[in-house]
Chains A and B, each alone.
Chain A
Amino acid sequence: MTTVGAVRELMVKRLEADSLDGDSRREMEVALEELDVMWDELQGQAALLVRENERYAEFFQYAPDAYLITDAGGNIREANEAALELLKTRREEVVGRPLAEYIAADDRVSFLARSVGLMPGGAAQPLAWQAQLQPREGTALAAQFSVRAIPLKKSGVGGLCWLVRPAT
Chain B
Amino acid sequence: MTVELEELKALWLDLRAHVDQLASERQQYYDFFEQASEAYVVTDEHGTITDANGAAVDILQRRKRHLRGKPLTALVALERRTEFRQRLRALRERTPGAERAWRTIFVAPELRTEVQVNARLIERPDSVGGVCWRLEALA
Q: Could you tell me which A residues sit within 8 Å of B by CB distance? A: 2-4, 7-8, 10-11, 14, 18, 35, 39, 42-43, 45-46, 49-50, 52-53, 55-65, 81-82, 126, 146, 148, 150-151, 153-154, 156, 161, 163
Across the interface, do A46 and B19 meet the contact criterion of CB distance under 8 Å?
yes
**Which A residues touch B121, using CB under 8 A?**
62
**Which A residues touch B37, using CB under 8 A?**
126, 146, 163
Most central of B28, B118, B129, B130 by chain A CB within 10 Å = B28
**Which B residues touch A154, using CB under 8 A?**
21, 25
**Which A residues touch B23, using CB under 8 A?**
49
In the complex, B58 has a CB within 8 A of chain A: no
**Which B residues touch A2, using CB under 8 A?**
7, 11
Alpha-carbon distance A42/B38, docked complex (angstroms): 35
In the complex, B8 has a CB within 8 A of chain A: yes
In the complex, B102 has a CB within 8 A of chain A: no
Across the interface, do B31 and A150 meet the contact criterion of CB distance under 8 Å?
yes
**Which B residues touch A45, using CB under 8 A?**
19
**Which B residues touch A39, using CB under 8 A?**
12, 15
Alpha-carbon distance A2/B3, docked complex (angstroms): 13
B64 to chain A, nearest CB (A): 15
Do A64 and B133 contact each other (CB < 8 Å), given the known contacts A7-B11, A46-B15, A50-B22? yes
Partner of A63 from B5, B8, B132 at Cβ < 8 Å: B132
20 contacting pairs across A/B (C-beta < 8 A): A3-B11, A11-B4, A18-B1, A45-B19, A46-B18, A46-B19, A46-B22, A49-B26, A53-B22, A56-B30, A56-B32, A62-B122, A63-B120, A64-B40, A64-B132, A64-B133, A64-B134, A82-B120, A163-B36, A163-B38
Partner of B25 from A4, A53, A82 at Cβ < 8 Å: A53
- Given A7-B4, A62-B123, A64-B120, 7 other A-B contacts at CB below 8 A? A11-B4, A11-B5, A14-B1, A60-B32, A64-B134, A65-B118, A82-B120
| B36 to A, closest residue via Cβ | A163
**Which A residues touch B133, using CB under 8 A?**
64
Alpha-carbon distance A63/B29, docked complex (angstroms): 13
**Which A residues touch B84, using CB under 8 A?**
none
**Which A residues touch B4, using CB under 8 A?**
7, 10-11, 14
Alpha-carbon distance A56/B24, docked complex (angstroms): 13
B23 to chain A, nearest CB (A): 6
**Which A residues touch B21, using CB under 8 A?**
154
**Which A residues touch B132, using CB under 8 A?**
59, 62-64
Across the interface, do A156 and B24 meet the contact criterion of CB distance under 8 Å?
yes
Alpha-carbon distance A146/B18, docked complex (angstroms): 33
In the complex, B119 has a CB within 8 A of chain A: yes
